Structure formats: structure tokens, C-alpha cells
Amino acid sequence: MLEKCKSAKERWGGVSEIIDGWLEERQELISQFVHIPEQHINEDLNNRVQGFCQVLMDYLSSGHFEVYEQLLREGSDFADGSLEEAQKLLPKIQLSTDIALDFNDDFSSLINPTVQQIRDFSERLSQLGESLEDRFELEDQMIAVLHTSHKDLVEG
């Protein structure tokens, strides 16, 4: 039993560090998001949007290709039903991924926007914000289901 706990700690102890780093990325994403509307439509705003889109893409990539993968592997290894519960969250998270990718495609290189593009930008930024808020809640649920529930076993 002690050997199993030691093995779990070795295997899953680093997941907390991955999650912590990812949550720091989330804070940066939120910070950049709230500062975008502070600027008028000009070159500075274009730079802010480009920077925000880069942080957004980095955050999404880290989630899908690092954090979720580790969390799902942990849930699979513990085989306690948490994996199945977490897999129900993935399609909901994917909806926000699609919204974010579309936003990036449409606005990451917006230069000299038209009035219509400015209107679209404001509406889409608001939609993206709502989607990210939902996503963060779902991701927090995934962390709770797949990692926090095993934390005592890993750190024990």
C-alpha cells in the first residue's frame, strides 16, 4: 500500500504544478481580456487584441494538450468513475474552444477595422467573455473531479 501511494505521488504530484501554471495563464488571460475595451479602436487596441489572442491560444492549447490529458490519465489510472464523469464535461468545454478559435481567426490580425467590424468585435468580445466564464467553471469542475478528489491519495 505504501509503495502504491509513493508511486502515485511520483506519478501525479507534478499534475498540481501543471495545473498551478495553467491557472496562472488563466489569470493573465482574464487580465488581458478586461483591459481590451479600455482602448479606442486604434493601433494600441490592435496590439492588445493580438496579444490577447496569443495568450488565449496558449491557454487553450495548454488545456487541451497538457492539462486535460494529464487529468484524464489520472482519472483513468484511479479507475474510480471520475473519468466518465469528467468526459461529460469535454463536449461543453469544446463549445467554448470553438467560440475562442473563431474569435481568434476573425480578430487576431484586425488592422484598420471598418465600422461593422468594430460592432462585430464588441459583440463577439462579449460572447467570448461569457463563453470563457462558462469554460472556467467547467474546467474547475474537471480539476475537482479528476485531481482534487485524488489529491489525498497522491500526497498521502
Q: Are 45 and 39 in contact (CB under 8 A)?
A: yes
Q: What is the mean pLDDT of residues 23-45?
A: 80
Range 100-103 contact pairs with CB under 8 angstroms and sequence separation of 24 or more:
100/56, 100/60, 100/128, 100/131, 100/132, 101/60, 103/53, 103/56, 103/128
Report whether pLDDT(50) > 50: yes
Cell numbers linked to 40: 479606442
Reported confidence tier of residue 147, pLDDT bands at 50, 70, 90:
confident
Q: What is the mean pLDDT of residues 120-130?
A: 93
Report whether pLDDT(38) > 70: no
Residue of 55, 66, 69, 65 lying closest to 24 (CA atoms): 55
Reported confidence tier of residue 145, pLDDT bands at 50, 70, 90:
confident
What's the confidence (pLDDT) of residue 3?
39
Mean of per-residue pLDDT scores for the chain: 82
What's the confidence (pLDDT) of residue 58?
97
Q: CA angle 128-132-12, nearest 5°?
A: 150
Report whether pLDDT(49) > 70: yes
DSSP 64: I
Cell numbers linked to 69: 490529458
In Å, what is the CA distance from 72 to each residue of 36, 45, 79, 137?
34, 38, 10, 17
Report whether pLDDT(15) > 80: no
Q: What is the pTM of this model?
A: 0.82
Tens digits of residue pLDDT in 97-117:
999 999 999 999 877 778 888
Tens digits of residue pLDDT in 65-107:
999 998 888 888 877 888 898 899 999 999 999 999 999 999 9
CA 79, CA 92: separation in Å to the nearest integer? 23
Alpha helices in 63-114 (DSSP H): 68-78, 82-87, 90-107
Q: For 75-97, b where at least 16 C-beta lie within 10 A, e where not — what string? A: beebeeebbebbeebeeebeebe
